[in-house]
Structures are given as C-alpha cells and as structure tokens.
Amino acid sequence: MSSSENKIVVNSNSDTAVGGLGIIFLIGFMGCGKTTLGRKLANRLSYPFMDLDHVLEAQAGMTIAQYFAQYGEDAFRKLESTVLKQTDYHEHMVVSTGGGLPCFFDNIEWMNAQGKTVYIKLSPKTLATRLENEKEERPLLREKHGEALVAFIADKLKEREPFYDKATIVTDGLSLTAEKIEKMLTGMIR
C-alpha cells in the first residue's frame, strides 16, 4: 500500500478530548515496528508509552514464550485479552500490542471503543527479514526459516488482516515515522 492509499476512518466511538489524542493502540504483525514506533510517537507527543506484552509478562511472572510453552496458545490469548481490558490506561498514551491480540475475542472492537488503533502494515517478505533473527522470543516462528517463514507469515496475515483492517488508521509501515503517525492522527481531529 502506498502512502497515498492510507485509509483513515474515524470511529464514532473514539472521541478525542480537547488538547489530546486519547489512547493510541498500535497493532500489526510481530516485527512491524509497534514498540519502536510506539516509543518514538509517545516521546514526540510527550505521552506515556506502554508495551502490553511487558505488562502481560509482569503479570504472568514469565516470558510470553514460557507461557506459550507451559499453557498453550488458547490460555495465552485469554490472558492477553484480560490484560488488555483490565489494565489502567492514562487518558492520553501510546500502547503497543501483541501481534495476534486484535484477532481474538472482541479485542479490536474494544480498542476502537477506547481510543484509536493504527495498523502498521508490511509485506510478508519484509516481516520475515525483520524476524529472522528474533525467532527464539517468538513461539509461533521458532521452527520456520527462509521461504517457509515468508509463507507462514503470508498465511497468518490472510487470517489476521480482516481484524487489522478494522483499525482507525491503516498505513504502510515501510517508511513510517512517528511524525507521519502524528500527522495522520491530528488530521482526524481538525
């Protein structure tokens, strides 16, 4: 998707308080840059930043990979949804989410009702390149390499994009900056 194709849809349930952008949830496949861009955007806006994966790990007392190995994906997705919905959020902040979080239960609808969601979209090949050296921390990718990794990501994106595409903003992540995200968000509230 080119930058001229960015979809900006204003969700009527995500009113913004005067003087702020509210809660901004960054969503997308693992490796798309949610945490890196989230920190930069939060810094740029002078907002607090939260990585929900870190909150989950603190509550679980173990890493996501350990939780997956011990309890399985179904238990992880339930815990992830609970953490999403029971965490206290600042009125205006940037939140990085896990890659699968929007795709389970009513999580994407819940995030859209609480604030704005930004889907950072990248191709399977770009994601595979970024994730090739991070597979140990990523339980779903551990045994996949090369073209098998690209194919796995492509299949997962086909499953997940119907959920990701419900985001307030869908944007190409290839040359995305915190400044560009800010401009998209502030353009919504003129």
Give per-residue pLDDT as tens, 71-83.
Answer: 999 999 999 999 9
pLDDT at 145: 86
pLDDT at 19: 57
Give per-residue pLDDT as tens, 9-59.
Answer: 333 333 333 358 999 999 999 999 999 999 999 999 999 999 999 999 999
Compare 97 and 140 and report the one with higher pLDDT: 97
Whether the full predicted model's pTM is greater than 0.95, yes or no, is no
Compare 10 and 85 and report the one with higher pLDDT: 85
Backbone φ/ψ region at 29: left (φ over 0), alpha (ψ -120 to 50), beta: beta
Of the candidates 137, 135, 155, 154, the one whose C-alpha atom is nearest the C-alpha of residue 145 is 135
Instruction: Look up tokens 């998707």; give the residue.
Output: 1
pLDDT at 79: 98
